[in-house]
Amino acid sequence: MKKKELKERPWLQFYQEEGIPGELEYPDCSLSDMVELSAERWPDNIAYSYYGHKVTYEKFLKKIEKVARALKNYGVKEGDRVTICMPNTPEGITMVYAVNMVGAICNMVHPLSSEKELEYYVRAAESKYVLVFDAVFDKIYKMRDSVDLERIIVVRPSDGLGFLKKKMYRLLHVKKVKLPSNDSRVVLWEDFIANSYFYQGNYREKRGANDPAIILYSGGTTGAPKGILLSNLNFNALGIMCTTVIKQAVPGASILSILPIFHGFGLGVCIHTPLCKGMNCILIPAFSHKQFADIIRKNEPNFIVGVPTLYESLINTKLKPGELKSVNAVICGGDALNSTLRDKVNSYLKAHGSNAKIRVGFGLTEATGATCLSPENSFKDGIIGAPFPDMYFKIVKIGTHEAAAVGEEGEICISGPLVMMGYLNDDAETAHAIRLHDDGKAWLHTGDIGYLGEDNFIYFTQRLKRIIVSSGYNIYPTYLESVINSHEGVLTSTVIGVDHPHKGQVAKAFIVLKPGYKAGKKVEREIRELLERHVAIYALPASYEFRDKLPTTLVGKVAFRKLEDEERAKKK
């Protein structure tokens, strides 16, 4: 190994010792091509299971092709954007690959987003087609004219089940969302599929590694919603990297696909990565900690992948000794894992028959959800481990492009095949996030603080930008503040994260009203209703506090750190 390579990527010495290559090859193909390759290699392996209903790779590919024909029948063209507003269901993942097969781009949005957020996402992507779960159909239907939707495809919860289970579901769950009977733009999933037989033309468009494939949403560097444009290469490289580094990722292994498909970690690590390797995705559309034990007993997964709050639920699950013996890989991402929880999870795994020990990953949506993973049996506080093959990490002194010394904290910067194409329709924000350094590489500035350890691994310490992580979801205070401040009675506000026993953190809003406005239930209700129209349910403040003034720094900015200290002091 060359000295220059070791200097740029000192963790390669660890990979060499483990027999893991530092460089990999990535095919010039699309996401759907990768799944088709898996279907050729492992046609009889289970691609996904959904409440016990199992579908092989061979049948999954046929489903994708059928949906691709249906999309073409309804006029979807190469380069079109199709919005997928779905939880983890067979229809949701099949649509992802069918949209990719016809050369269109998936616009992935959270079903619990507010009406205003959904309208923003659909408008930003210039999407004319939407796949939506029936429970949130009304929110999509209300915007049909303002964003000029051509087709709304509606999925019932039972659509992905086998015939008998579907019949039983409909008997037991008789309440249905009422759909308009006289609007041709609205079509049920079963009718959408049935109409695929009318299309007999070509439904495959050749797409390469560098073509755009997926739009996901994050707060960007300012906290305002940003569409993140990701390529076929981004996702295919992630699948190849993960299955190279994680030795337990073998054909036939099963993974609990709990993290949602509108989340980079969920779509990239829990869906596309296993589908690249002939693994079984156990689709969980709505996770409840009360059902966790049953999910594990019924599915006997090999992989558990989740955020820290998922593992809080795991250690409080009443399983019998030996009921985790199938589990051989456990990975945590989405937020920092504290040492107390880490040790509890490892003890719980061992006590219930698993030889696995929790590993910590690091990533962000702008880098396809995951970029780095701690080694097995390495449990130092803050460790996020070795960047994936072909990924470069650099710690720079904050506000500069200058590399920090070993052990010195700085901003984590990332370069390599996982870095996004850019922010959707926002060149200025893209240029701020991805910057050309003197070494000739384009570096993604993550806004996260860390350092390179003496052991040649990367460590995470804190976030540079303001962000609240609640159950693995990012909440951006500046965006919430902008909505709150739009209320006619609000002079100023600030939002902070406060500790929560199950979610990690939740948002709390501090508000100063204009003269003439009185704090109370009425104005709080108005502000809450305003937020509900603009912000996803998971991001809504859990509490509101009205004050005459907010603490400020010497330069006059709101001292939100002081508010955080006050809240922590209350807990003691």
pLDDT digits (tens, 9 = 90+) for 353-380: 999 999 999 999 999 999 999 998 888 8
**Least confident span in 153-157, 204-208, 321-325, 391-395:** 153-157
Cα distances (angstroms) measured from residue 263 to each of 44, 70, 270, 396, 485: 29, 26, 10, 28, 28
**Least confident span in 128-132, 416-420, 538-542:** 538-542
Q: Which residue has the higher pLDDT, 218 or 252?
A: 252
Best CA proximity match to 228, nearest among 208, 206, 213, 210: 213
Say how many residues make up the chain.
Answer: 572
The CA distance from 250 to 38, in Å, is 12
Residue 98, pLDDT score:
98
- Measured in whole angstroms, how far is the alpha carbon of residue 220 from the centre of its chain? 14
Determine the average pLDDT of the residues in 213-228. 78
Looking at the predicted structure, is the pLDDT value of residue 167 above 80?
no
Looking at the predicted structure, is the pLDDT value of residue 222 above 70?
no
Within 8 A by CB and 6+ apart from 240, the residues are 24, 26, 276
**Which pLDDT band holds residue 8 (cuts at 50, 70, 90)?**
confident
Residue 169, pLDDT score:
46
**Which pLDDT band holds residue 5 (cuts at 50, 70, 90)?**
confident
The CA distance from 90 to 405, in Å, is 48
H or E segment to which residue 154 belongs:
strand 151-155
Residue 162, pLDDT score:
60
Reading the block at residue 224, the tokens are: 């305002």
Residue 172, pLDDT score:
42
Is residue 471 within 8 Å of residue 394, measured between CB atoms?
no
Reading the block at residue 44, the tokens are: 């009889």
Strand (E) positions, 163-244?
Answer: 186-188, 212-218, 226-231
Q: Is 172 helix (H, G, I), strand (E, B) or coil?
A: helix
Q: Answer yes or no: same fold for 54-207 and 468-571.
A: no
Question: Which fold would CATH assign to domain 468-571?
Answer: GMP Synthetase; Chain A, domain 3 (3.30.300)
The CATH number of 54-207 is 3.40.50.980
Within 8 A by CB and 6+ apart from 12, the residues are 1, 5, 6, 22
Cα distances (angstroms) measured from residue 344 to each of 121, 314, 315, 361, 502: 40, 10, 7, 18, 15
Residue 174, pLDDT score:
43
The CA distance from 288 to 29, in Å, is 37
The ranges assigned to domains in the chain are: 54-207, 468-571
Number of Cα atoms under 13 Å in the Cβ half of residue 465 = 20
Determine the average pLDDT of the residues in 300-312. 91
Q: Is 215 helix (H, G, I), strand (E, B) or coil?
A: strand
Looking at the predicted structure, is the pLDDT value of residue 553 above 70?
no
Looking at the predicted structure, is the pLDDT value of residue 488 above 80?
yes
Residue 481, pLDDT score:
86
pTM confidence score: 0.85
The CA distance from 184 to 569, in Å, is 58
Is residue 57 within 8 Å of residue 88, measured between CB atoms?
no
Residue 469, pLDDT score:
83
Reading the block at residue 374, the tokens are: 């701690």
Looking at the predicted structure, is the pLDDT value of residue 296 above 60?
yes
Best CA proximity match to 234, nearest among 383, 90, 52, 367: 367
The CA distance from 380 to 374, in Å, is 10
Mean pLDDT of the chain: 90
The CA distance from 569 to 509, in Å, is 17
* Residue 319 per-residue DSSP state: P
Task: Please report, rounded to a whole number, the percentage of residues in the chain having pLDDT higher than 70.
Answer: 94
Residue 218, pLDDT score:
83
Task: Please report, rounded to a whole number, the percentage of residues in the chain having pLDDT higher than 90.
Answer: 69
* Residue 268 per-residue DSSP state: I
Determine the average pLDDT of the residues in 254-258. 97
Is residue 239 within 8 Å of residue 249, measured between CB atoms?
no
**Residues of the chain by 3-state class (helix, strand, coil), percent to 5:** 35, 25, 40
